[in-house]
Chain A
Amino acid sequence: MKAITSLTALVLGASLAAMAPAQETTTQTPPPAEAGAGAAAAVSGAAPAAEPATDAADGGDAPAGDGAGGSAVLPNGMDVTAETEENGRWYNAEGIPTFKIDGNVVDFATFNGYRRYSAECHVCHGPDGEGSTYAPALKNSVLKMDYYAFQEIVASGKQEVNAAQNQVMPAFGTNKNVWCYVDDIYVYLLARGTGELPRGRPAERGDKSDDYTAQEDSCMSM
């Protein structure tokens, strides 16, 4: 519990930091229109009726991205549209971390989420958020649980131990390699789950901003 408290403080500290000036290296246009039909299905919470053909490459997950009106709402009600940037990370209108993809270029935090996920999470949850024989596909989990529930599980872990299964996720709250990047991992999984980011290493990424680096250094040296 102590760990969680201090980490919450850490997160608060990070988000209280001064608003960062807009980056010059990545252009910030709204995500392109990609998957209107799928998004509509996702919004209503029903099974996607009409999958867009472009989604075939990603195994047929319901994409939630919707560039048409600038809104992209997940089954859990979250709008993933990036509105503001702070310390090199993007946030939606409610201040929840989200991804920003401009053409082939993903923002640095989302790219870094790919790296951190692939180092820390994939040994149980499989490559690309796709799940393994025993651990759930997190790219789907983040569409259902909200950001705070995600954070809580990463920080405190989770146990489902009974006659049928022995599933235990460790608490990563004291692991700086995970916790300093928990938002990056979250937005990476959002980008995967909405179908906006294909499997594998993102082709191109935005540059790492000085604010991002400063915040990273501060967190990793705490």
Chain B
Amino acid sequence: MKRLLNGALAALFLSGAGGYANESVLAETAKPEQWAIQTGDYANQRYSELDQINRDNVGDLRVAWTFSTGVLRGHEGSPLVIGDVMYVHTPFPNNIFALDLANDGKILWRYEPEQDPEVIAVMCCDTVYRGVAYADGLILSHQADTTLVALDAKTGEVKWSVKTGDPAIGETNTATVLPVGDKVIVGVSGGEYGVRGRVTAYSLADGSEVWKAYSTGPDEEMLVDPEKTTHLGKPIGKDSSLNSWEGDQWKIGGGTTWGWYSYDPDLNLIYYGTGNPSTWNPSQRPGDNKWSMTIMARDADTGMAKWFYQMTPHDEWDFDGVNEMILTEQEIDGQERKLLTHFDRNGLAYTLDRESGELLVAEKYDPAVNWTTGVDMDPNSETYGRPAVVAEYSTAQNGEDENTTGVCPAALGSKDQQPAAYSPKTQTFYVPTNHVCMDYEPFRVAYTAGQPYVGATLAMFPAPNSHGGMGNFIAWDNVEGKIKWSLPEQFSVWSGALATAGDIVFYGTLEGYLKAVDAETGEELYKFKTPSGIIGNVMTYESAGKQYIGILSGVGGWAGIGLAAGLTNPNDGLGAVGGYASLSDYTELGGQLTVFELPGEASASAEPAADPAAEPAPADGGTSG
């Protein structure tokens, strides 16, 4: 408690300094030849102005060089490029390599932290790590064991290091961090261990804690103002979280914060989502379980919450709300607005006004989604902003020890953390999605610190009555709330997308293909099979005047667990087992960076694109609920 008070005091003093962005992050991300932050920019658009590689010549792409990471587990995130140096990270043990792009990728320095391997035992769903950040000459790495370390970007020398959590009670890290102003903002993983979610800001100068905002609990610990913090335009009121839980369940109630964060320098607000309430058995936690499953907007200097929006009150399916918030400036109803677009695990894509938190659009981005008929959009309604739950698919209404069948999407969501991209040129979002449904049977569990705290059995299978695959790559209109086109994929698309000014969009597949498609039509223009399945995010950079595309291979993560042996639909009965593809028939483990280029010198070849193989499928029935 003492520490918390100190933090609050420090926040008060610092807020006097006024909001300002981190100049180095803004300056570095403004250079299109670099990839200076995991998300491309503060707005999480994953868009590059580079256009040497474009829809006319991308068919000529070839491998320029490769780099093995020496680690076998799932490789999420992407390298960064700052100046002539590329920073490549690995899953646990969270090694970092600095490669000299001016000298054939020679290793300038490497950082190989000592971590207690016991932390692996409390990491749900593989030892993934979504990459390092850069600010003020520091490489910032948040390791699996929650050690946050700042390295000198030139030498790899440790400047400071701080522990942000306790793996002994299941607190771990998989996410990248967000440098903002003179702070670095970090989250925590462990929703399947009853960890109490929070976001913490540390001083970039020395790693000291500045503020900490919990997702659940007393108002002062959540850094909310009952009168000024709003939910859909209304004050959240006193004890908003405590009143939405039974007893002390909130203390082990999840709401973890392991997604991608974004930041608006003008509003000085950070945006992120909170994860599932613990346990997965809804009967053990009556109430709305605030503020799990919530989009949060907080002041970057003080952590004080400006607005919340809870997407899935009283979750019954593990639809974590952590997916990225993509910030855009677009016209909606004839008015230029500052928008936030979010593709939630629950299968709904939300468009909000990011200044006020007003809900503008909430539509299904996979027609298979069936647990809800849609969100109540009437501001005068009692249930404004709430999804209408279909009783048949309500694991809470069906109750403990009952198997609720055929829920779409599955717990991994219509999309998980794999980030979407946005092209301002087409005003279109490009979204890697899962097309998987599930049976879900909740049952009673006991809490033991540091042990899994799940409380439900899942069986997952490809969405029935569809194309038979487990994924789609879609183009989404966030103003209309409609799918523009949808490319069926055999497996979930677990790779972050990249859109470029070359009118192309890149993504990876679990079989290991890097694909490039036309940003307008979705037409496939290029594919290449990398050594292992892709769950990393595509990035691009320019070196010596030439554009490159980089992607980490290395199958694993939640996708590698669920799909390695293939999925079966238990409702199809016997004999269906062989009907679905096993990922293990296509790929094996292995971490590798593959970097692509066009042949020849920097100027693009003008040959027409080769092999227009896959025709995009129509939007399959639209998105209405």
Contact (A166, B73) CB under 8 Å given A119-B456, A124-B561: yes
**What are 15 A-B residue pairs whose CB atoms fall within 8 Å in the complex?**
A57-B574, A115-B441, A118-B459, A119-B457, A119-B458, A133-B73, A133-B126, A133-B589, A134-B72, A134-B126, A159-B117, A171-B121, A176-B448, A178-B452, A200-B459
Query: Which A residue sits closest to B119, measured CB to CB?
Result: A168
Contacts of A122 in B (CB 8 A): 458, 561
Contacts of B439 in A (CB 8 A): 201
Per the bound structure, the CA–CA distance linking A169 and B570 in Å amounts to 28
Query: Which A residue sits closest to B566, measured CB to CB?
Result: A130
Query: Which B residue sits closest to A203, measured CB to CB?
Result: B573
Asked if residues B117 and A170 are in contact (CB atoms below 8 Å), the reply is: no
Asked if residues B577 and A59 are in contact (CB atoms below 8 Å), the reply is: yes
Q: Which of A132-179 contact B (CB under 8 A)?
A: 132-135, 137, 157, 159, 161, 164-172, 174-178
What 1/0 mask marks residues of chain B from 121 to 147 whose CB sits below 8 Å from any chain A CB?
Answer: 110111100000000000000000000
Instruction: Judge if B403 is at the interface, Cβ distance under 8 Å.
Output: yes
Q: Which of B565-597 contact A (CB under 8 A)?
A: 565-570, 573-575, 577-578, 583-584, 589
Asked if residues B451 and A172 are in contact (CB atoms below 8 Å), the reply is: yes
Instruction: Judge if A114 is at the interface, Cβ distance under 8 Å.
Output: yes
Instruction: Judge if B506 is at the interface, Cβ distance under 8 Å.
Output: no
Instruction: Judge if A120 is at the interface, Cβ distance under 8 Å.
Output: yes
Per the bound structure, the CA–CA distance linking A174 and B448 in Å amounts to 8
Q: Give the contacting residue for B577; candidates A57, A123, A135, A159; CB below 8 A.
A: A57
Instruction: Judge if A30 is at the interface, Cβ distance under 8 Å.
Output: no
Contacts of B453 in A (CB 8 A): 177
What 1/0 mask marks residues of chain B from 20 to 45 whose CB sits below 8 Å from any chain A CB?
Answer: 00000000000000000000000000
Asked if residues A134 and B567 are in contact (CB atoms below 8 Å), the reply is: no
Per the bound structure, the CA–CA distance linking A208 and B103 in Å amounts to 68
Q: Give the contacting residue for B568; candidates A137, A171, A200; CB below 8 A.
A: A200
Instruction: Judge if A127 is at the interface, Cβ distance under 8 Å.
Output: yes
Per the bound structure, the CA–CA distance linking A140 and B615 in Å amounts to 42
Per the bound structure, the CA–CA distance linking A116 and B565 in Å amounts to 19
Q: How far apart are A162's CB and chain B's nearest CB, in angstroms?
A: 10
Considering the complex of A and B, which 3 residue pairs feature the smallest CB-CB distances, nearest first? A130-B565, A170-B121, A133-B560
Instruction: Judge if A75 is at the interface, Cβ distance under 8 Å.
Output: no
Contacts of B96 in A (CB 8 A): none
Contacts of A220 in B (CB 8 A): 446
Contacts of B118 in A (CB 8 A): 168, 170
Contact (A177, B124) CB under 8 Å given A59-B577, A161-B117: no
What 1/0 mask marks residues of chain B from 268 to 288 whose CB sits below 8 Å from any chain A CB?
Answer: 000000000000000000000
The residue among A116, A166, A201 with the most chain B CB atoms within 10 A of its own CB is A166
Q: Give the contacting residue for A177; candidates B446, B566, B578; CB below 8 A.
A: B446
Instruction: Judge if B508 is at the interface, Cβ distance under 8 Å.
Output: no
What 1/0 mask marks residues of chain A from 94 to 133 whose CB sits below 8 Å from any chain B CB?
Answer: 0000000000000000000011101110111011101111
Q: How far apart are A129's CB and chain B's nearest CB, in angstroms?
A: 9
Q: Give the contacting residue for B574; candidates A115, A161, A167, A198; CB below 8 A.
A: A198
Query: Which B residue sits closest to A220, measured CB to CB?
Result: B446
Instruction: Judge if A56 is at the interface, Cβ distance under 8 Å.
Output: yes
Contact (A201, B570) CB under 8 Å given A118-B458, A126-B565, A133-B560: yes
Per the bound structure, the CA–CA distance linking A199 and B564 in Å amounts to 14
Contact (A128, B568) CB under 8 Å given A57-B578, A133-B589, A177-B451: yes
Per the bound structure, the CA–CA distance linking A157 and B122 in Å amounts to 12
Contacts of A115 in B (CB 8 A): 441, 443, 457
Asked if residues A127 and B451 are in contact (CB atoms below 8 Å), the reply is: no
Known pairs A126-B561, A132-B126. 4 more at Cβ < 8 A?
A120-B452, A133-B564, A161-B117, A198-B574
Asked if residues A201 and B459 are in contact (CB atoms below 8 Å), the reply is: yes
Q: How far apart are B67's CB and chain A's nearest CB, in angstroms?
A: 18
Per the bound structure, the CA–CA distance linking A164 and B589 in Å amounts to 12
Asked if residues B452 and A167 are in contact (CB atoms below 8 Å), the reply is: no
Asked if residues B459 and A134 are in contact (CB atoms below 8 Å), the reply is: no
Instruction: Judge if A83 is at the interface, Cβ distance under 8 Å.
Output: no
Contacts of B93 in A (CB 8 A): 166
Per the bound structure, the CA–CA distance linking A128 and B573 in Å amounts to 14
Asked if residues B567 and A127 are in contact (CB atoms below 8 Å), the reply is: yes
Contacts of A135 in B (CB 8 A): 561
Query: Which B residue sits closest to A171, measured CB to CB?
Result: B121
Asked if residues A157 and B121 are in contact (CB atoms below 8 Å), the reply is: yes
Q: Which of B427-459 contact A (CB under 8 A)?
A: 439, 441, 443, 445-446, 448, 451-459
Asked if residues A168 and B565 are in contact (CB atoms below 8 Å), the reply is: no
Asked if residues A134 and B589 are in contact (CB atoms below 8 Å), the reply is: yes
Q: How far apart are A40's CB and chain B's nearest CB, in angstroms?
A: 24
Asked if residues B577 and A175 are in contact (CB atoms below 8 Å), the reply is: no
Per the bound structure, the CA–CA distance linking A114 and B445 in Å amounts to 15
Asked if residues A133 and B577 are in contact (CB atoms below 8 Å), the reply is: no
Q: Which of B530-573 contact A (CB under 8 A)?
A: 555-556, 560-562, 564-570, 573
Q: Give the contacting residue for A119; candidates B125, B454, B577; CB below 8 A.
A: B454
Q: How far apart are A142's CB and chain B's nearest CB, in angstroms?
A: 16
Contacts of A199 in B (CB 8 A): 568, 570, 577
Asked if residues B561 and A56 are in contact (CB atoms below 8 Å), the reply is: no
Instruction: Judge if A211 is at the interface, Cβ distance under 8 Å.
Output: no
Q: How far apart are B400's CB and chain A's nearest CB, in angstroms?
A: 12
Instruction: Judge if B74 is at the interface, Cβ distance under 8 Å.
Output: yes
Q: Give the contacting residue for A123; candidates B73, B192, B567, B589; CB below 8 A.
A: B192
Instruction: Judge if A207 is at the interface, Cβ distance under 8 Å.
Output: no
Q: Which of B515-533 contact A (CB under 8 A)?
A: none
Query: Which B residue sits closest to A180, measured CB to CB?
Result: B446
Instruction: Judge if A58 is at the interface, Cβ distance under 8 Å.
Output: yes
Contacts of B460 in A (CB 8 A): 127
Contacts of B121 in A (CB 8 A): 157, 168-171
Contacts of B561 in A (CB 8 A): 122-124, 126, 132-133, 135
Per the bound structure, the CA–CA distance linking A172 and B561 in Å amounts to 20
Query: Which A residue sits closest to B589, measured CB to CB?
Result: A133
What 1/0 mask marks residues of chain A from 180 to 218 whose CB sits below 8 Å from any chain B CB?
Answer: 000000000000000000111101000000000000000
Contact (A134, B568) CB under 8 Å given A118-B459, A165-B72: no
Query: Which B residue sits closest to A221, measured CB to CB?
Result: B446
Contacts of A131 in B (CB 8 A): 564-565
